[in-house]
Structure 1
Amino acid sequence: METLQAILFILVFLIMALSMFFRKIPALLALPVMAFLIPLIGGVSLNDTMQLVIGQGALRLHRAYTVMLFGSMLSVLMQKTKVAENLIKKGAELSGDNPWIIAVIMLFLISLLFTTLGGLGAIIMVATIVLPIMTSVGIGPLTVVGVFLFGLSIGGILNAGNWAVYVDVMKLPVEEIRSFALLMFALAFMTALVYITVQLYKDGHDLNLKKIISYSLGFIILALALFYLLNRSGFAEKPAVQNILSILNTGFKSGIGLLLGGLFLYNVIRMFQKKSPDTGVHWSAFLSPVLPLFLILLYSMDFIAAFICGLIYALVATWKKGSLNVFIKSILEGGAVVMPALVMMLGIGMLLNAIIGPGGEWNAMHPEGWPVLNVLRPLMMAITPETPLGFVVIFTLAAPLALYRGPLNVWGMGYGIAAVFLASGMPAGAVMGLLLAVGQVQGISDPTNTHNVWLANEMQQDVQKVLWNTLPYTWSVAVVGLIAASLIFY
Structure 2
Amino acid sequence: MGVVILLVMAAGVAAMLTRKLPTACALVLLAGAIALLAGAPATGENSLLDTVLQEGAPALAATMIAVLLGAWMGKLLEETGIAATLVRKIVEFGGDRPVVVALGVLAVSALIGTVTGSAAAAMLAGIIGIPAMTAVGVPKVTAAGTILMGIAVGVPFELPVWQFLSTVLELPIPTVRGFMVKLFPFALVAALAFVVVETRRRGVEHAWSLASPAAKTRSRRHQLGDAPWYALVTPAIPIVLALGFEIAIIPSLLAGVLWALVTTTRPREMNTRLLRTLYGGFGVAAPPIALFVAIGILLAAVKLPGTVEALEPLVKAVTPQNPVLFVILFTLITPLCLYRGPLNIFGLGAGLAGILTATGIYPVGAVLGLAASYNQVFGVSDPTSTQTVWSAQYAGVSPQQVMVRTLPYVWVVALGGLCVTAATYL
Larger radius of gyration: 1
Choose 76-85 or 61-70, whichever is displaced more.
76-85
Residues 295 and 382 of structure 1, relative CA distance in 2, 3 Å threshold: closer
Q: In the alignment, what sits opposite 2:287? A: 340
- 1:319 Cα deviation after fit: 0.9
Residues 145 and 350 of structure 1, relative CA distance in 2, 3 Å threshold: farther
C-alpha contact (below 8 Å) 1:32/1:350 kept by paired residues = yes
Counterpart-to-counterpart distance in 1, 2:410 and 2:4: 28
Out of 316, 320, 324, which is 1:381 matched to? Answer: 316
After TM superposition, the structure 1 = structure 2 runs for residues 241-260 of structure 1, keeping only pairs within 5 Å, are: none
Q: In the alignment, what sits opposite 2:261? A: 315
Counterpart-to-counterpart distance in 2, 1:26 and 1:51: 24
Out of 328, 331, 353, which is 2:278 matched to? Answer: 331
Counterpart-to-counterpart distance in 2, 1:414 and 1:7: 16
- 1:24 Cα deviation after fit: 3.4
Residues 9 and 388 of structure 1, relative CA distance in 2, 3 Å threshold: same
Counterpart-to-counterpart distance in 1, 2:420 and 2:78: 46
Out of 304, 310, 316, which is 2:250 matched to? Answer: 304
Counterpart-to-counterpart distance in 2, 1:325 and 1:75: 17
Please tell me the residue identity of whatever aligns with 2:8: V
Residues 285 and 50 of structure 1, relative CA distance in 2, 3 Å threshold: same
- 1:328 Cα deviation after fit: 1.8
Out of 349, 356, 362, which is 1:414 matched to? Answer: 356
Please tell me the residue identity of whatever aligns with 1:144: I
- 1:391 Cα deviation after fit: 6.5
Out of 350, 369, 384, which is 2:297 matched to? Answer: 350
C-alpha contact (below 8 Å) 1:147/1:192 kept by paired residues = yes
Counterpart-to-counterpart distance in 2, 1:413 and 1:290: 35
State the SS of the aligned residue for 1:420.
Answer: coil
Length-normalised TM-score, structure 1: 0.55
Out of 17, 29, 53, which is 1:33 matched to? Answer: 29
Please tell me the residue identity of whatever aligns with 2:75: V
- 1:305 Cα deviation after fit: 2.4
Counterpart-to-counterpart distance in 1, 2:42 and 2:330: 34
Choose 346-355 or 318-327, whichever is displaced more.
318-327
1:228-277 Cα offsets, whole Å, 9 max, x none, are xxxxxxxxxxxxxxxxxxxxxxxxxxxxxxxxxxxxxxxxxxxxxxxxx9
Counterpart-to-counterpart distance in 1, 2:259 and 2:235: 10
Counterpart-to-counterpart distance in 2, 1:296 and 1:40: 41
Q: In the alignment, what sits opposite 1:52? A: 51
C-alpha contact (below 8 Å) 1:407/1:413 kept by paired residues = no
Counterpart-to-counterpart distance in 2, 1:280 and 1:109: 15
Counterpart-to-counterpart distance in 2, 1:129 and 1:288: 14
State the SS of the aligned residue for 2:361.
Answer: helix
Please tell me the residue identity of whatever aligns with 2:252: A
C-alpha contact (below 8 Å) 1:6/1:375 kept by paired residues = yes
Residues 197 and 43 of structure 1, relative CA distance in 2, 3 Å threshold: farther
Show structure 1 runs of 5+ residues with no match. 114-119, 163-167, 169-177, 208-276, 358-369, 423-430
**What's the Cα RMSD here?**
5.4
State the SS of the aligned residue for 2:242.
Answer: helix
State the SS of the aligned residue for 1:300.
Answer: coil
Q: What is the aligned-residue identity percentage?
A: 23
Q: In the alignment, what sits opposite 1:148? A: 151
Counterpart-to-counterpart distance in 2, 1:203 and 1:292: 38
State the SS of the aligned residue for 1:402.
Answer: coil
C-alpha contact (below 8 Å) 1:84/1:132 kept by paired residues = yes
Residues 87 and 406 of structure 1, relative CA distance in 2, 3 Å threshold: closer
C-alpha contact (below 8 Å) 2:261/2:274 kept by paired residues = yes
Residues 33 and 467 of structure 1, relative CA distance in 2, 3 Å threshold: farther
Residues 129 and 289 of structure 1, relative CA distance in 2, 3 Å threshold: farther
Counterpart-to-counterpart distance in 2, 1:456 and 1:83: 23
Please tell me the residue identity of whatever aligns with 1:373: V
Counterpart-to-counterpart distance in 1, 2:400 and 2:349: 21
Provide the aligned length of Structure 1 versus Structure 2. 363
1:273-324 Cα offsets, whole Å, 9 max, x none, are xxxx998643333343433333334433333323333333333342165443
- 1:66 Cα deviation after fit: 0.6
Residues 311 and 44 of structure 1, relative CA distance in 2, 3 Å threshold: same
- 1:189 Cα deviation after fit: 6.4
Counterpart-to-counterpart distance in 1, 2:402 and 2:80: 35
Q: In the alignment, what sits opposite 2:93? A: 94
Is residue 59 of structure 2 the alignment partner of residue 124 of structure 1? no
Q: In the alignment, what sits opposite 2:77? A: 78
